[in-house]
Amino acid sequence: MNNSTTAPGSSPDTPSTPTTPQGRRSAMAGLAGILALAWLTTCVLFVDESEVVVVERLGTITAVLDQPDQRGLNFKLPWPIGTTRRFDRRILLFDPPGREVFTRDRKNVTVDAYVCWRIAESPASDTIDTRPAVRFFRSLGSSATAQARLETRVRSAIASRLAQVELSDLMAVTDSESQAITDVSLASLARDLLADVRQRSDEEQSVTDRLGIEIVDVRIKRINFPLGNQQAVFERMKSERQKIADAYRSAGLAQNTVIRSQADRQYAEIMSKADAEAERIRGEAEAEALAILNAAHSRDPEFYRTMRTLDAYRDILNEKTTLVLSTSSSLLKNLVADEAEPPRTSEDRDQKARPAEELRSEPSEDKANAPKQEQR
């Protein structure tokens, strides 16, 4: 007689798979194998080019992977015996919020600056304890903590440096044609801030030696006035600039007066020298003209007087001229002589001119005969 019972809902022809101890052991072995494989994968360590890896063994730093030949695939002890700390080795930009500071002339301004920093490079010869990455891990631990420390240093450096300069020096604008009155500028201020952030004068060690970070650059983005007193400051700046412009204009007018007076004096000197030279040349020319005229007059005075009389006739006589002359006037004598003398023919003039020519030729003949008489 069969006393076995069949479970409700099951077919009596379907055999059941009982759970045996051997099956449970095989399942546990497979699960253990998977866990062991996953645990062994923690021994594999991949180092990227943009990061520094610190390897620890039970809380003690055993290796720092920060060299170019250590990038890529590496190995360590499995977790939790061997653990890793990864840090970004690229240049990071930290832009803290602007802060109000006072200048030397007690003007409050808002200064915005940014900092470029990174974990410092280390040579391969350094020991593990002297590596910058180890100092960074032990002193700061994370990038957020490093930025908080940098914000404090940058704020104190800006406050100390701006307290040594005046607002007018910071706002001075220079170009290629003008020269700055002082050596204070945003570029020089940024250089001083960089030096202070790296190492202050009262510190024995730099930030790199103490914290393992390198300050690449510190720059000032903006210098502005607080919103409450911007308008008042702008008006005061306008009035100050207007005073400076008026001073430049007055100095320019004074210089203009000096230059004009010098030019007028030089002009007067040059004109006086030119007038004196012209008078000298004019006097020499008149003297030479008089000498030539006197020489011409001395050769034939009678002809000269006749020519002067004829020139006078040409100037004073015309169809409507009426002259009243004295009997001793030379003008009257020439007119009377011309009217009293009868008109001459061409033959009479030739006969009258012939004796004169003979008289002129006689001296020449006498001169020609004189040598002959001496020879005789």
Helices assigned H by DSSP within the chain: 21-41, 132-139, 143-162, 167-170, 186-198, 207-211, 230-299, 301-316, 330-340, 346-375
Q: Kindly indicate the confidence band of residue 19, based on its pLDDT and cuts at 50, 70 and 90.
A: low
Arithmetic mean of pLDDT, 246-251 = 94
Give the DSSP H/E element, type plus range, for residue 206. none
Give the DSSP H/E element, type plus range, for residue 22. helix 21-41
Q: Is the pLDDT of residue 179 over 80?
A: no
**CATH code matching the domain that covers 91-224, chosen among 2.30.130.10, 3.40.50.2300, 3.30.479.30, 3.30.479.10:** 3.30.479.30
| 323 within 8 A of 316, measured Cβ to Cβ | yes
As a whole-number percent, the residues of the chain with pLDDT over 90 amount to 23
Q: Kindly indicate the confidence band of residue 287, based on its pLDDT and cuts at 50, 70 and 90.
A: very high
* Domain locations in the chain as residue ranges: 37-87, 91-224
Dihedral over Cα of 228, 234, 239, 244: its sign: positive
303-325 as b/e, with b when 16 or more CB fall inside 10 Å?
eeeeeeeeeeeeeeeeeeeeeee
What one-character-per-residue DSSP string does 89-104 give?
Answer: -S-EEE-PPPEEEE-T
Q: How many CA atoms lie within 13 A of 139 on its CB side?
A: 20
Q: Is the pLDDT of residue 8 over 70?
A: no
What are the tens digits of pLDDT across the range 290-324? 898 888 888 888 888 788 888 887 877 777 777 77
Q: What is the reported pLDDT for 306?
A: 80
Arithmetic mean of pLDDT, 72-98 = 85
Q: What is the reported pLDDT for 180?
A: 47
3 state SS of 328: coil
Q: What is the reported pLDDT for 24?
A: 80
Q: What is the reported pLDDT for 249?
A: 94
Q: Kindly indicate the confidence band of residue 204, based on its pLDDT and cuts at 50, 70 and 90.
A: confident
Arithmetic mean of pLDDT, 235-259 = 91
Helices assigned H by DSSP within 68-166: 132-139, 143-162
Q: Is 72 left (phi over 0), alpha (psi -120 to 50) or beta?
A: left
Q: Is the pLDDT of residue 171 over 80?
A: no
Q: Is the preceding peptide bond at 80 cis, omega within 30 degrees of 0?
A: yes
